[in-house]
Amino acid sequence: MGRWQDMTQEELEKQYAPSRWSHRMDKEAVIEAHVREVTEAFPLVLYIHGGYWQFLSKEVSGFIAPPLVTQGIAVAAVGYDVAPKGKGFQKWDQHLLSLALWPLSLCALCLGHMDVMVAQVRRSVAFIVQQYSKTSGVYLCGHSAGAHLAAMVLSTDWEEYGVTPDIKGAFLVSGVYDLEPITHTSVNNLLHVSQSDCSAVTLSLPREVARRNSPVLCMTAATPARKACEVLIAVAQHDSPEFHRQSQEYFQALRSAGWSVSLLDIADTDHFDVIEKLSQGGYILTQVILNMISRA
């Protein structure tokens, strides 16, 4: 081929018109097909991690992505400030630790951090749907504490956030839907604080905070839009009887409120591998998620 300076105007136009060179279809059709392909809406799964509101992170949540992404589903992990960071403090004040009444001050700092976590997750959902308007629907997936937070998302008054997310489904796995029993366990007690390590600080969740952040107690009646959202409540066969009870009661509460909801007891799993196995394409819960999304 000669230099471009030696080409006629017609030849130059042809050389710089990529659509003329497609082997698959004519020049008009290939452009239309390309626009359709790159702008086509896609389903989006938002994964909310567990860890009893105290550990794990979005950075370790990518394990669920491979079997979903291979089916054309986008996956995003949602983070939140686990306790005790939820109230905005990341390092303990040395002066505070020296005070005789420091436990009272710490309790004051801890009050409401569950509210913060819930608000953070709600804001994340609002932000994502504003940034990615081309989704064909949003699906929530949460495990344990993450299932609790996903359930709280379902009860959100979205007018406060200026958006109406098209949440078409929620997969709530081995969740806690009534927080009050947690307030009577060691999960909630302030066990240990040191100047060098605050990782053992637990929830310090007051009863009133627990109640207003319990999905089973802040049930929202199913509007027409919410009726279009399918909710799957899954529980591991070897979860404790309390986890089974809570899953059953939240299932009944949603159904009574008019939601489209189902309950799945997953055989031969415990509280941990029930979610770990989502990395496997052939796992029953993976298949249930894929089937629900494909029906939408």
- 124-154 per-position pLDDT tens digit: 999 999 988 788 999 999 999 999 999 999 9
Confidence class for position 247, pLDDT limits 50, 70, 90? very high
Q: Is 117 helix (H, G, I), strand (E, B) or coil?
A: helix
Q: What is the pLDDT of residue 195?
A: 39
pLDDT number for residue 194: 39
* Cβ burial, residue 206 (10 Å; 0-12/13-18/19+): middle
Highest mean pLDDT among 103-112, 199-208, 246-255: 246-255
pLDDT: is 246 or 81 the higher one? 246
Q: What is the pLDDT of residue 202?
A: 54
* pLDDT on residue 93: 32
Catalytically annotated residue among 144, 174, 204, 214: 144
Is 179 exposed, middle or buried (CB count within 10 Å of its CB: 0-12, 13-18, 19+)?
buried
The yes-or-no verdict on residue 87 having pLDDT over 70 is no
At residue 8, φ and ψ (nearest 5 deg) are -75, 165
Q: Is 240 annotated as catalytic?
A: no
Taking Cα atoms as reference points, which of 182, 184, 173 lies closest to residue 149? 173
**What CA–CA distances, in Å, run from 43 to 46, 134, 169, 192, 246?**
10, 9, 10, 43, 29
- Is 144 marked active-site? yes
Give the pLDDT score at 1: 62
For residue 291, the model assigns a pLDDT of: 96
Whether the pLDDT of residue 98 is over 70: the answer is: no
Check if 204 is active-site: no
Annotated catalytic residue, options 49, 113, 148, 239: 239
| SS3 state at 278 | helix
What pLDDT digit, counting tens, does each position of 181-237 carry?
988 888 776 443 433 444 444 567 888 999 999 999 998 887 776 778 999 999 999
User: Is the CATH number of domain 44-295 3.40.50.300?
Assistant: no
Q: Chain-centre distance of CA 43, in angstroms?
A: 14
Euclidean distance between CA atoms 80 and 146, whole angstroms: 10
